[in-house]
Amino acid sequence: MSKQWKIILFTVSALLLLCMLAYPFGYDQSVFSVGGEMSIKHGAVTYRDFLDTKPPLVFTIYGISSVVFGHHEWSPRALDILFHIVTLFYFYRILRRTLRDERVALFSVVLYALFYATSGFWMTAQAETFALLPSLWIFSLSERTAGGANPLRNGILAGVATLFLFLLKFTLVTVAAASIVYLFIARPQLKFGLILRYIGGLVLGFAASAGLYIFYLYSTGAATRFFESIEWLRGYAAVTPFFTIYFFSEYIFRIFPGGVLQTFWSFTVFLAILGIWNISYKKDSTTGTQHHLLLQIGFGLLGIISERKFFPYHYSRLYWCVIPFIAIGAPIVWRRAVEYFSFVKDLNGFPKTIRLILFSLTCAAAIFFSPMTRIFSNCLYWPYIRMSGKNVGEAVASKFGQTFYQDQDNAAMLIHTALEPNDNIFLWGNSVGLYYRLERYPSTICLTNTPFVTAWTPKNWKDTLLRQLQSAPPRFFITETGDARAYITGDSFDSEQHLEQWSELNAFVRSNYHDWKTIGHFVIHEKN
């Protein structure tokens, strides 16, 4: 492929990614930004100073973006774009080396940018996003090991990368598991000792780096809550229990495959199946690598099932291992499409208008059932909203109503006029964008109230929170309504109802605060 075409394709990828600068915050992005600024700018330690349902590394990434680019809604997007520009070039080089097909490698980069950028503001800059680089690193290291090179060193480096995945999201370690199975199954010619050296190195690298992290937790006083958080996540996962008729009928056969189609779309799933089918009849030196990618898909799907939540961003961990198959399957369809259009063109018995309609309908169907439509609904839509000066909050509400974006803006503007320099706020809810807008951060361990309202919440977490509030009552205590998270908490109560259920906290609020204002979904109480 010519240098000119490479430049064009990389430029298209970069332009798709640049559109994300206009994306607003979703719920998760607000949480990560507040926690990240607390960590990097204010020295807070995750688990010791604040709690959340996500592991700590994503907060560090967001905190770095705030230091580098400032306190802006676009700051983590800018870091995300730079991350992808570098990582997708690495992706291109890995695929070019392992699949020995530059066209597939280049097309995969463009497709990745297309799938990722068009997925929308909520689904980007998630923990799965930043798993791309360590996942590719493990994939590349295991491929090099399959070639017989430095198995122990490769294993150690893969173990360190696995810890990064673990600290982004615990279920992402399936990447390392798939790489080990690949060496046993897809590369049977490898000596057993070589594979054992890779596995030993991986265990050593993971254990050594995990040991350093655990030492950091103990030295900062965060270890106890770290292990309690892992236990809390077991209860979180159990909200949707395995091995029940309901789980298989509702989730495995409906919600889970529905998430696949929502993330990858029907037409591109068909292309991926064609690319996978290509393995069965094309046997060459790249077949082993394709089996490796297929194993990564399988293990990635198992990781998603183990989480039992099935949001589209959960499936984004599969982009890098699914997209090469789409890039392989696309030329097969293209050749058949050329034959089909030639056939339609040669239908002498049909009027030209009928042939044009057939051609147009075929193209429209292919576009409609692919991610191309999301270019307009996301990549072009949000820059248009920003540049035209339209109300971002209304646009967010039209897509994801439960973010309460506009209510956060309105409440923050009202509270800002009343705050003195040393005043603080406390949010009993999930819309922590209030903290971000006011640049006032939690002085308690409660970032969102989700970890504190479940039936399996450790008692000492609630005792600590109540003690912190009593020792330094904030100026405003803000309660959120309509923010029920049944898929996390296992009940249908919103934060206002959870406050009423926690008698000690409710008594603290009623004794020390009076109702001040209600703005949308936020009930604001002011200290007496």
pLDDT in tens, 393-406: 999 998 887 789 99
Instruction: Give the per-residue pLDDT at 188.
Output: 74
- How many other CB atoms are there within 10 angstroms of residue 241's CB atom? 10
pLDDT classification of 340: cutoffs 50, 70, 90: low
Q: Across residues 247-273, what is the average pLDDT?
A: 88
Instruction: Give the per-residue pLDDT at 104.
Output: 94
Q: Across residues 252-258, what is the average pLDDT?
A: 88
**Closest to 133 (Cα-Cα) out of 67, 70, 199, 86:** 86
Instruction: Give the per-residue pLDDT at 398.
Output: 87
**Closest to 441 (Cα-Cα) out of 144, 37, 82:** 37
pLDDT classification of 341: cutoffs 50, 70, 90: low
What DSSP line would sit under 191-217, residue for residue? -HHHHHHHHHHHHHHHHHHHHHHHHHH
What DSSP line would sit under 262-309, residue for residue? HHH-HHHHHHHHHHHHHHHH--STTHHHHHHHHHHHHHHHHHHHHHT-
Instruction: Give the per-residue pLDDT at 10.
Output: 87
Q: Across residues 323-331, what is the average pLDDT?
A: 93
Tens of pLDDT, residues 179-227: 999 998 877 778 889 999 999 999 999 999 999 999 999 999 999 999 9
pLDDT classification of 383: cutoffs 50, 70, 90: very high
Whether the predicted pLDDT of 480 surpasses 80: yes
Instruction: Give the per-residue pLDDT at 349.
Output: 56
The two structure tokens encoding residue 34 = 């507040």
Q: Across residues 458-487, what is the average pLDDT?
A: 95
Calpha distance 60→45 (Å, rounded): 10
Which of 58-62, 183-187, 495-499 bottoms out in mean pLDDT, i.e. has the lowest?
Answer: 183-187
Question: For residue 28, which amino acid is it?
Answer: D
Which of 255-264, 297-306, 467-476 bottoms out in mean pLDDT, i.e. has the lowest?
Answer: 255-264
Instruction: Give the per-residue pLDDT at 354.
Output: 66
Helix (H) or strand (E) run with residue 163 in it: helix 151-168
Percent of the chain at pLDDT above 90? Answer: 73
Instruction: Give the per-residue pLDDT at 471.
Output: 96
Whether the predicted pLDDT of 281 surpasses 90: no
Instruction: Give the per-residue pLDDT at 345.
Output: 59
Whether the predicted pLDDT of 324 surpasses 80: yes
Instruction: Give the per-residue pLDDT at 347.
Output: 56
Q: Across residues 291-319, what is the average pLDDT?
A: 93
Instruction: Give the per-residue pLDDT at 382.
Output: 96
Higher pLDDT, 334 or 156: 156
The pTM assigned to this predicted structure is 0.93
DSSP state letter for 255: I
Instruction: Give the per-residue pLDDT at 237.
Output: 80
Whether the predicted pLDDT of 386 surpasses 90: yes
What's the mean per-residue pLDDT of the chain? 91
Beta-strand relationship, 476-480 and 425-428? parallel
pLDDT classification of 31: cutoffs 50, 70, 90: very high
Q: Across residues 496-520, what is the average pLDDT?
A: 96
Q: Across residues 328-342, what is the average pLDDT?
A: 77
The two structure tokens encoding residue 138 = 């493990």
- Indicate the angle between helix axes 266-281 and 319-345, nearest 10 degrees: 90
- Residues 83 and 117 sit within 8 Å (Cβ to Cβ): no
Instruction: Give the per-residue pLDDT at 71.
Output: 97
Whether the predicted pLDDT of 158 surpasses 90: yes
Instruction: Give the per-residue pLDDT at 275.
Output: 92
- Per the DSSP assignment, residues forming a β-bridge with 526 are 476, 514
- Residues 195 and 185 sit within 8 Å (Cβ to Cβ): no
Instruction: Give the per-residue pLDDT at 350.
Output: 58
3-state SS assignment for residue 311: coil
Beta-strand relationship, 522-527 and 476-480? antiparallel
Whether the predicted pLDDT of 106 surpasses 90: yes
Which of 31-40, 141-150, 157-166, 170-179 bottoms out in mean pLDDT, i.e. has the lowest?
Answer: 141-150
Chain centroid to CA 460: 30
Whether the predicted pLDDT of 391 surpasses 70: yes
Calpha distance 485→426 (Å, rounded): 20
Instruction: Give the per-residue pLDDT at 358.
Output: 67
Which of 260-274, 357-371, 390-404, 411-425 bottoms out in mean pLDDT, i.e. has the lowest?
Answer: 357-371
Tens of pLDDT, residues 357-375: 766 777 777 777 788 889 9
Instruction: Give the per-residue pLDDT at 80.
Output: 98
